[in-house]
Structure 1
Amino acid sequence: MNVEVSPSTIEAVVQRQLEAYNNKDIDAFMENWADDALYFEHPATLLASGAPAIRERHLIRFKEPDLFGKLVSRIVLNNKVVDTEIVSRTFPEGPGHIDAVCIYELADNKIKRAWFIMGKPVLHEKQ
C-alpha cells in the first residue's frame, strides 16, 4: 500500500529520525524506518538491508560521544527528502565532522530507501 502523503508529513518523518539520531534513541530512530528499508552509500553500495541491519549499524554509531547531525538545508520533493548536514563524529583519529548529503525515499510514512554522500572527515584541532 503506497498512500500519498503531504510534504509536511514526509518532512516530519525525516525530522523525527534526525532528532532521534541526535538523542541516540535507537527505538525512536527505528520507528521511522520501514522493515524492509535499504541503506546505501550513494549511488548503489548497499550498507544495510532491512530494519535489523540498520538498527545494528546505528547501535554502534550511537556509542560515539560526539555524534550529532546539524541540519544545514532540507528540500522535500514528492516522496523524497534531501538533507544537507554537518555531522559531528568521534573518528578513530579523534573528534571531527563530516559533510553529508542524505536522500530519503518514503513510502507509507516510513523511510523505505536512503542514500548518503559523505565528504572527507575534518578533525578538530586539539585544544
Structure 2
Amino acid sequence: MHSPESIVQRQLEAYNARDLSAWLATYASDAQQFELHGSCLAAGHAQIRERMVSRFAEPDLHAELLSRVVLGSVVVDHERITRNFPEGKGTIEMLCVYEVVNGLIAKASFALGTKLLASHVQDAP
C-alpha cells in the first residue's frame, strides 16, 4: 500500500497536469471535501468532478507546494495556487488537510487565504 504522503503527492501532480481522471483516482468514491471547520463543498466522485471540471480547464492552473506536514494518515499541505479567476490571473494560498484511508483520500478540508490578482502594467500614452 502507498503511504498517505505519496497519495497526496500523486494528487498534486495530477492537479498540476490538469488530469481530472488521475486526480479523482486519488480520492475514495465516497470522499468528501469541506471548507475547513465548515460546510461540505462536495461529496462523492460526481460532485467532486463537477466542482473541479472548470478549474482543470484553466490554462494557468498550478499548485506550488510551500510546505507539507505528515502525521499518520493526515497530510497537511500549504500551497500557493495560480488560477484564472473571473477578474484575471492571480494566486491564492491554501491550507489543504487530507485524510487518507485505505490508500485513498477520504476527506479533504481547505482554508483559503486572500486572493491576489496579478498586477497589470499599462502602457504610457
TM-score by length of 1: 0.92
Q: Is residue 42 of structure 1 aligned with residue 56 of structure 2?
A: no
**Hey, what does 2:21 align to over in structure 1?**
27
In the TM superposition, residue 44 of structure 1 has moved relative to its aligned partner by 2.2
User: Where does structure 2 lack aligned partners over 5 or more consecutive residues?
Assistant: none
| Distance in 1 of aligned mates of 2:106 and 2:51 | 16
Larger Rg: 2
TM-score by length of 2: 0.93
Any residues of structure 2 matched to 1:1-127 within 5 Å, and which?
9-127=3-121
1:39-96 CA distances to partner (integer Å, 9 max, x unpaired)? 0011121100111111111111111111100000000101100000000001111000
| Distance in 2 of aligned mates of 1:70 and 1:60 | 19
Query: Residue type matched to 2:55 in 1?
Result: R
Classify the secondary structure of the residue corresponding to 1:39. strand
CA RMSD of aligned residues (A): 1.1
| Distance in 1 of aligned mates of 2:49 and 2:70 | 25
User: Where does structure 1 lack aligned partners over 5 or more consecutive residues?
Assistant: none
Classify the secondary structure of the residue corresponding to 1:83. strand
Classify the secondary structure of the residue corresponding to 2:59. coil
Number of residues paired by the alignment? Answer: 121
| Runs of 4+ with >2 A deviation | none
| Distance in 2 of aligned mates of 1:102 and 1:33 | 14
